[in-house]
Structure formats: structure tokens, C-alpha cells
Structure 1
């Protein structure tokens, strides 16, 4: 049973909610006037529920009519599990994917996934295949247009008019850059698809390079949603964003990129894109011995703001002997009160007219702090 809030925002309130870690990371944004977008997906590994849908439906939001866009930032399953369920539940929403993952080589890989076993990140390919199948079914019978939109640097994805006292809204993709798209196409072209049923050789292209970071502007509020965009390489990542994008006003909220990891640290983000002491929200990443953010990452973030929150406090990685014993015990080793397998929820709300963000954390969410 989740501990997500069930009180909806007022029509003139902007909201960013972050869910994680579970299996994935997800962001739900209220743009005002019961207009929502969902970015990526998170599934509770205990209940199997898709967190964004559980949250929206719990507040009485109708995803079929009130979710205007579903954004799949990149092809890593820690941001993707359940996203096709979200797309299916939101028939009027535009579906946004990275332009870097829409060439024919990638589409061929998605189609081949059903017959090729054992390749990395097959879960995200399965999700993509479902998304494309849904889009085909929703194709306009007259125009042939499908509800798919390709994100690239400085491309406006949503441009919503004001509704009464609720101001206009724009959602802009900051990435991937032209060079990142080229690198992705070149990397995907090196894939060698073999006879059906055999394993495929894949390039070393990192989908994080082609991740879709978003700039959301609504009334007096700007928010930066960093996805898993990396600081580089040259011509890509945050370096490319800072070269091509200059906001008229900085963002007062930042969904930290790549789980707060040092791979996405860039001083230009703080100096050019963010206000002083912004609200920072993140969902951690845990897989095997990898725990993000590290203590050094947390110290870096806290050196820039004291308003940082995580959806779940980081648990120390258990030593090898403990993991071996826990594996022998199986489900008997699970503590039902252990919060670390549960999806946490951090919610930030602010009036669209501007003001101070109100942050609420729902267990096991907590202020970001170095583990002592």
C-alpha cells in the first residue's frame, strides 16, 4: 500500500512530484488547470503498481483526458518500466521520445527484440515496442499522423494557452543536441543484427547521452527536469545545453540529472540555469554494488542548496557474506517494515503566480543528507 498523497493541487498551483527508486524513476507535473504531464516510469517492485498512474488516479485525476504528454527520456529500464502502461492509459496524450532513438536502426532493433534473447536493456525495447504498437493503433485515419513527437534541443513539445486565470505553459526539450543525435545514429548503425534467435552485437553508445532534459515554464515558475543527461562529451549533454539555451529567468526547481551522480555535475547548470538555493529533487539508483548518489555527490549538491530531497534515503550496500546469507533465506530475509524496497514520493508545489515552494515527503522520502 503506497503512502502517496491523495489531495490534488489547486488549479493555479504548479506541482512536480518525483517517485523512486522501485524499478525506475518517474516525474509527474501539474501545469495548472488540471493539465498534467508524466516523465518516465517507476514501478513498485512489491506491489507491481505503476507509481504515476497510482498517484494520479488516487487524486481523482483522469489520465485519459487530463494527461497531455508522456515523455520517455531515454532507453534505460531504470526510467522505463511500466511506461507503456502509462501511454495506454493516456489516449489523448502526445508521446515524446528522444530524436536520437527514432532512426531505422533503432526501430529495427525494437522489432527484432521479440526474437533476439539475452541483449542488454531488452526491457526498454519491449516497452518501446508496445508504445509504437499503441501509436500505430491511434494513427489518424485521415491524415495518418501518429501521436509521437521527437525531442531535440530547443524544441517546444507543448505550448498551452492560458485558461482563465491560469497562465500559459511551454514545455521545451533541451536535448539531445544535434551532435548527440548524430553520435546515436552512428552508434546504432554499427549494430549487427544476426539471424533471428541469435544474440546481437551492440555498439557502446550510452543512451544517457541522448536523454531528454526538459524546461517547463508556467506563469512565474520555471523548472528544470534533468533526466539522465550527462555533462558531456563535447557537443553533447549539459555542455551543449548551456551553449544553445539561455532562459530569461532561472529555474527555482531542479530534478537532479542522473540520480545526482557526478557524471551529470556541471557548474554551468547552477550558474546559468538555476536560481540561488533552488529546490533539488532526486530519486536514487541502486543496483548491485552501485548506489547513487555517492556521499561526494550529496556533498556537491548540498554545497549549492540546502533545499534538496531524495525519494528514499540511501542504505549501505551490504557486504558479500550478508548478501549470500540473505539469498539463501529468500523472502524470509525481507523485513516488511524495511523502507528501502518501497517507492518514495517527494512533492513540490508553488503558486503559478510565484512564491515559495512547499515540499512534502512521503515515506520513505527525506531531506538529502550524507549518511553518517
Structure 2
């Protein structure tokens, strides 16, 4: 089937769009009956277009009415860029994220940081997020809070029932965030300071989806915590909405070691699920060989949106004048190559004894032992 093949109403779909070079990731999910959920957003850095929106439009989805939920798992650049374009097009979608329980104080923090744009001291992710909140306000709605064991969406029709649950962050994590907000507001009032969220991954929203008897676990960037009241340990010990093991897994945090927990694989996932990873190529390269070996050992099939074997390939040679300018102004500057791949998985939700059918597009690759052996 081609990329533009629209699924039938009884076919579930989980499509992971990822960009080599750390430009972002997004999951696009068909939960049946022409209803769609989009988790996070990413862009083509050359055209600045929103990749999940491009994908939905290519399928022929009526994004104004058929995209029901948009979730921002956390507001790192690689998860939110293009989100305001997506939300603007999806006029009937509810917008969820892990916001502070004190909504007014949280919005004040956002507005203070965005005001730094006039001074040239600002965060693109904060501005993108502020634009989303502004869009929601123009619709006379409010941004909704995703938190542990919260049901975000539920429908049933034509023999297909679905539920979309948030498994994190915990109340404990959000309470800590409330306390951080006041400190951040004091810091950001200083002219040369900007909003630096020191631990955004602890607030990352893990999503658990039920479509008839099939289960999907999307790990966002949630990490292991030293405190079992948050992170993966809290999900494993305290979540009440998990009723069976998932057969498809979006591996958390680019396949990093700090997103790995053996009990995720033994308690939350079936033996040998389909697993997907979006690599990272800024600073430390992820996933590393040892972790990719672990994930491959746990999975029936393991996929990357882009190959880690090519992410570090040599950048094209620059003109001498440009090279000299870079060395003078910013010697640590590196060119990050852009590629993007799509891993699309579909399943017949009316049948129980079926497996996910996976298609790869663009730079996406399937991982086997020979691939891992080639890694440094």
C-alpha cells in the first residue's frame, strides 16, 4: 500500500514520524471510525511545514472535524515545533498537556517568557506553546491537563470502541511543578533570563490506548526516576487504567538508557511486541549500540525512523569564507543533517488473533543483528 492509503473505519493505525538530527517526532493514531489522535509535532526544517499535518492531509483526512485529540507530551523543541499550525488546522480537537494545576500562574509564566522575544532572549518551544494556548482561548476553550489515569477520549461505534488514557505525570510530579512555577516567575522577570525547565522529561505524558482488545503504549520521553512517586516506577506501581499488555510500543526518550526499565517489558508489554524508536543526533547520539541490542532482544520487530548508521555522516564541505566565519563566531557549531522517516503500523480491530502490519517510508529502517553489528 502507498503512503496516501486511508485506513478503513475498523483499522487501527499508529504512525511514528521521526526526523534524523533531532528535529522532532510525532505519533499519528487512527482509533477507528475516522477519528484521529496526534501526539506531539515536528517540522521539516527546510520548509518549516508541520509533518504530522502533512501526513494527515496526504491521507485525505478532514482535519477540521476528524482529529479529535492533540497531545503535547512535553514542550521540548523536538516534540512541539509546528504544533500551533497543527492545532490551527484541527479546529475541533481538544488540546492536552501536562500543565500546572495553577492554570493562571502557568499562563503568566508563558506570557513573561514570550515577552522576551522583543529582547531576542526567547525559546522557540515556549513561543510555539504560547501560540497554541492563544488559539485555544480564541475558541473560548481552555487547554486541558493530562495526568495519571486520566481518560482523554472515548467513543464506540460500528463495532469499534476506543479509549485514550494518560499514564503520567503523577499528582506528585505536578505538585512539584506548581512549586517550580513560582520560582521560575521570579527568575524570568530579570531581563536577561529566560524560562529553563530543568526536568521536563519527568512531566512527559505517556499515552495508553485501547482499541477493542488491542493495546498501544507510547512512552514519550519519560525517564526512570529516583522517586517511585514519579516516572516509570509510578506507572508500574500505581496506574489503575492499565487492563492488559500492549502489543505496540513507542520506546521512550530515543531509546536512551534512562528510559529503560525491565519491568516495562515484563509487566506492560506482551512478549516480543512491535517497537519503534526515533533517534537523536545532538550531543550524545541515541540509541547507543548496547541499548539497541537490548530493545531488539525484547521485540518481535524493531524499527528506527532514521538510521543511526548515517546520522553521523560527514557534512558537505562549506566555502572557506563561511568556514572561517563559523570558526570565529561559533566554533562548536555543527551541521545536523535532516532526514525523516515514517513507521506505519495497522491492525484489524475487529479481530483478536492478528498482528500489526508494518510499512516503512522515507528513511525508516528495520533493525536486525547485522545492523547492530555495524554500529560503533
Trace 1:159-178 onto structure 2 (pairs within 5 A): 159-160=154-155, 162-165=156-159, 167-178=160-171
Deviation at 1:98, TM superposition (A): 0.7
TM-score, normalization by structure 2: 0.86
1:4 & 1:95 partners in 2: Cα distance? 30
Which residue of structure 2 lines up, in the alignment, with residue 24 of structure 1? 24
Farther off after superposition, 257-266 or 297-306 = 297-306
> Is 1:240 equivalent to 2:240 in the alignment?
no
Contact persistence 1:119–1:199 (CA under 8 A): no
Unaligned runs of 5+ in 1: 140-145, 332-338
Which residue of structure 1 lines up, in the alignment, with residue 339 of structure 2? 342
2:275 & 2:136 partners in 1: Cα distance? 34
TM-score, normalization by structure 1: 0.87
Trace 1:177-326 onto structure 2 (pairs within 5 A): 177-193=170-186, 198-200=191-193, 205-234=198-227, 235-245=229-239, 247-287=242-282, 289-315=283-309, 326=318
Q: CA RMSD in A?
A: 2.7
1:169-199 Cα distance to aligned partner (Å, 9 max, x none): 1100000011111222222322254686812
1:103 & 1:230 partners in 2: Cα distance? 25
Contact persistence 1:179–1:236 (CA under 8 A): yes
2:72 & 2:102 partners in 1: Cα distance? 12
1:141-164 Cα distance to aligned partner (Å, 9 max, x none): xxxxx152201100000011x212
Q: Give the direction of change, closer, same or farther, for the CA distance of 1:327–1:116 in structure 2 (3 Å limit).
A: farther
Q: Give the direction of change, closer, same or farther, for the CA distance of 1:201–1:27 in structure 2 (3 Å limit).
A: closer
1:69-95 Cα distance to aligned partner (Å, 9 max, x none): 000111111101001111100110100
Which residue of structure 2 lines up, in the alignment, with residue 89 of structure 1? 89
Deviation at 1:317, TM superposition (A): 6.5
1:122 & 1:202 partners in 2: Cα distance? 8
| Equivalent position SS for 1:238 | helix
1:203 & 1:348 partners in 2: Cα distance? 36
Q: Give the direction of change, closer, same or farther, for the CA distance of 1:7–1:207 in structure 2 (3 Å limit).
A: same
Deviation at 1:325, TM superposition (A): 5.2
Contact persistence 2:343–2:364 (CA under 8 A): yes
Which residue of structure 2 lines up, in the alignment, with residue 357 of structure 1? 356
Which residue of structure 2 lines up, in the alignment, with residue 78 of structure 1? 78
Contact persistence 2:96–2:144 (CA under 8 A): yes
1:218-262 Cα distance to aligned partner (Å, 9 max, x none): 111100011111111311110111111253220000011111111
Contact persistence 2:220–2:252 (CA under 8 A): yes
What is the aligned length? 352
2:49 & 2:269 partners in 1: Cα distance? 33
1:266 & 1:298 partners in 2: Cα distance? 14
1:184-217 Cα distance to aligned partner (Å, 9 max, x none): 2222322254686812265663111001101000
Q: Give the direction of change, closer, same or farther, for the CA distance of 1:327–1:181 in structure 2 (3 Å limit).
A: farther
2:355 & 2:45 partners in 1: Cα distance? 34
Q: Give the direction of change, closer, same or farther, for the CA distance of 1:295–1:85 in structure 2 (3 Å limit).
A: same
